[in-house]
Amino acid sequence: MSAIWGCIDFSGDAIEKDLPEKMSRCTKKYRIDKTDQLLEGCIYMACGLQYITKESYSEELPYCDKGIYYTADCILDGRDDLLKELGQAANSQMPDGKLLFLAYQKWGEDFGEHVLGLFSFAVYDSIQREFHLYTDHTASRCIHYHIRGSRVYFSTLTTSITGALPDIEICEKWMWACEQSIFSFAFIHESLTPFEGVYIVPYGSGITVKDMGQGLLATTRRYWDPLGNISQDNKRTDSQYRQEFLTTHISAVRDAIRTDGEVGVLLSGGLDSTSVASVAATELARTGKDLFSYTSIPLEEFRQSKENKSVYWIDDESHLVLELCKMYPNIRPEFLDCEGISTWTYLEDLVDFMEMPGKAFVNDVWINSAYKEAREKGCKVVMGGFWGNYTISYGSMEETAYKDIVSGHPISGINELMGYAKKMHFSRKKYMKHFLHMCSDSRKKTDFSVCLKDDCLKEIDLREYDSTKTWEKLLSEGGGAFKSSAEKKHFVINPYYMQHMGVECTKYGLYHGIVIRDPSADKRMLELCLRLPYKCFASDGVERRLVREYLKDYLPDKIRCEVIRRGRQSQDAALRMEKYAFPDGKEPWEKITDKIEKYYYKDKIVEKLKENRGRNIDWQIKVVSCNLFLEKNQK
């Protein structure tokens, strides 16, 4: 993988010689193996390459071919199929960047119908005087751009652009939207970033910049539109759907583990990560390789002092991971209690290399530690099942019954409910009452105001910056417990979370020298889950059926058949945050400065931070990281 950056001056004026240093200065904090640059008159392009696959060592980026200038950040999937389509122009030794360029040359804007994987790339046609910038289908690799005068600047990293143009201000609309809630994702306005005029390319899209005579004009085109072009397929048998799911999942995992290094996985005891790990371990065993797994466990002090009386939640999932290891002896497990570390330990670094204020950084205690340890073990690919709840482990019996009933098959729906109640030893009467309550609740409009309320936040200029309606729209688009076809599509293809995950995975990967892969968010898997009938996800007494039934040969029963309890990570976060302060010894309220007054009442924040040492931890992280970001970036 790579970080790419550059600048094109449409006026023809030469790029000044110190611009490369200004744009590349920020890359020094990231783990890049080789940097190459091209500076030719009005054209500057660069690529900071990471060696992930055996082919990447021969990558030569950026380069020029007959007046076409190109640089890319990419790792391609389905290479064999792409090589066949490209024919004699390509060969199996070619690096991914070259193959992507050949695909773009052959198919132009239709390249997305032929190319799979993680990528962003920039193309400048000096003959047509057009600049193109693309991200992959799911925005897994973030890419940004900024237009000023006759120039377009682009970069994987926003601070590469602000390094060249230090007068760029913070984007108020983005900041207010981010700070208005504690929800993890921050990119709720498509294309906006924390910096004014610095835009991010949305999923499955590309931008074209042209000189219109009176200035540069950027237009966006979406080359992949699953929400508009994919509909449910009801024409095949369940065994055929099962086979397609297996083929898709195995292909996604197999492509994800392509590397000349070791492979790691963030592993819990849940269905998502174990379904990824089980297939990865199977594939790696064919070549005698191990799979290094990393699992969060609570502090010993937490385990001794905090009795978990919940019949639902599992705070320590190590026993389930060990069950998987019995089935796959080539999994090498590591259990991370991260002694001495809290969110405060990493927060300043996270805000710095993520280039944005963070919110749900609670899990980053062990995630950051896992990535660090994985790289030390020689891992170049680290996988997860982050998108699994939206795809491979989706499905409830109540929703299946509801869809049966509203589609004119009430007897089938009731039979589904009664069969599930019998299997789970539920009272049929109570279960039916529960289902009717869910039906009633699904018709009520959800009030999100409580999620968007923060007494410490200052009054927002409603004419410009209020994002309440935007938040309410995106939170309701995915539907409630029972989703319509349109709501299900928006649930699977969630552009806000997709954008956020793309930014985090790109920058985490650059920082640690790895590529982060999620087969449950693979384009092929997303498309499949949009096509599958609802009964594939839950029916015949089995919820989350894609994993529990279609993958039953891959998972131990103790994991696959666990239907009552679910694992959760970082339940010791509050204890950590009380015990372990910032590396400089300061408490969180001591990190609050006058910079925060732009958005919050400083006195209220300091008081609330002192009062809430073991509570409201997401809010604490939100306001402290906001201040850290402002200290570094506010003019």
- If we measure between CA atoms, which residue out of 171, 193, 161, 144 comes closest to residue 25? 161
- Phi, psi torsion values for 210, nearest 5 degrees: -130, 155
pLDDT recorded at residue 180: 83
pLDDT recorded at residue 469: 77
Q: How many CB atoms lie within 10 A of CB 579?
A: 15
| H or E segment to which residue 218 belongs | strand 216-222
- If we measure between CA atoms, which residue out of 143, 91, 85 comes closest to residue 118? 143
How does residue 184 score in pLDDT terms, banded at 50, 70 and 90? confident
| H or E segment to which residue 105 belongs | helix 96-107
Radius of gyration of the chain (CA): 25
CB 176 within 8 Å of CB 626: no
Q: How many CB atoms lie within 10 A of CB 192?
A: 21
Distance CA 353, CA 347 (A): 10
Distance CA 330, CA 278 (A): 10
Distance CA 385, CA 268 (A): 10
Q: Is the omega angle on the peptide bond into residue 62 within 30 degrees of 0, that is, cis? A: yes
How does residue 447 score in pLDDT terms, banded at 50, 70 and 90? low
DSSP letter assigned to residue 166? T
Distance of CA 49 to the CA centre of its chain: 21
| H or E segment to which residue 322 belongs | helix 318-327
Is 625 a residue whose pLDDT tops 80? Answer: yes
Burial class (CB in 10 A: 0-12, 13-18, 19+), 404: buried
Relative orientation angle of helices 495-512 and 364-376, to the nearest 10 degrees: 40
The pLDDT tens digits of the residues spanning 336-378 come to 999 999 999 999 999 999 999 987 788 999 999 999 999 999 9
Reading the block at residue 293, the tokens are 């797994």
Instruction: Using DSSP, state whether 499 is helix, strand or coil.
Output: helix
The pLDDT tens digits of the residues spanning 458-514 come to 877 655 777 777 777 777 766 677 888 888 888 899 888 899 999 999 999 999 999
AA identity, residue 127: I
Average pLDDT over residues 238-266: 98
Is 627 a residue whose pLDDT tops 60? Answer: yes
- If we measure between CA atoms, which residue out of 75, 133, 127 comes closest to residue 104? 133
Q: How many CB atoms lie within 10 A of CB 480?
A: 15
Lowest mean pLDDT among 191-195, 343-347, 546-550, 615-619: 615-619
Question: Given CA atoms 551, 553, 558, 561 in this order, what sign does their dihedral have?
Answer: positive
Strand partners, 49: 2, 34
The pLDDT tens digits of the residues spanning 98-113 come to 999 999 999 999 999 9
Is 534 a residue whose pLDDT tops 90? Answer: yes
DSSP letter assigned to residue 149? T
CB 617 within 8 Å of CB 364: no
Q: State the pairing for strand pair 379-383/262-266.
A: parallel
Average pLDDT over residues 406-435: 94
Distance CA 635, CA 630 (A): 8
Is 572 a residue whose pLDDT tops 60? Answer: yes
Distance CA 38, CA 61 (A): 9
Reading the block at residue 575, the tokens are 């204890």
Biggest CA pair distance of the chain = 78
Q: What are the residues whose beta carbons fall under 8 Å from the beta carbon of 377, sequence distance 6 or more? A: 262, 264, 292
The pLDDT tens digits of the residues spanning 142-175 come to 999 999 999 999 999 999 999 999 999 999 999 9
> What does CATH list as the number for 2-224?
3.60.20.10
The pLDDT tens digits of the residues spanning 61-91 come to 999 999 999 999 999 999 999 999 999 998 9
The pLDDT tens digits of the residues spanning 6-55 come to 999 999 999 999 999 999 999 999 999 999 999 999 999 999 999 999 99
Q: CATH 3.40.50.620: which residues of the chain? A: 228-341+356-392+490-567
Distance CA 492, CA 515 (A): 23
pLDDT recorded at residue 488: 86
Is 263 a residue whose pLDDT tops 80? Answer: yes
pLDDT recorded at residue 187: 85
Relative orientation angle of helices 238-256 and 523-531, to the nearest 10 degrees: 170
pTM above 0.85, yes or no: yes
Reading the block at residue 421, the tokens are 């109640």
- Name the residue with tokens 């790419």: 4
Distance CA 251, CA 241 (A): 15
- Name the residue with tokens 């978990």: 308
pLDDT recorded at residue 568: 83
**Angle 499-504-507 (CA atoms, 0-180°, nearest 5)?**
120
Residues of the chain with pLDDT > 70: what percent?
96
The pLDDT tens digits of the residues spanning 198-236 come to 999 999 999 999 998 889 999 999 999 998 888 888 899
CB 160 within 8 Å of CB 181: no
How does residue 307 score in pLDDT terms, banded at 50, 70 and 90? low
Residues of the chain with pLDDT > 90: what percent?
78
Strand partners, 135: 120
pLDDT recorded at residue 451: 65
Is 122 a residue whose pLDDT tops 90? Answer: yes
CATH superfamily of 228-341+356-392+490-567: HUPs (3.40.50.620)
Q: CATH 3.60.20.10: which residues of the chain? A: 2-224
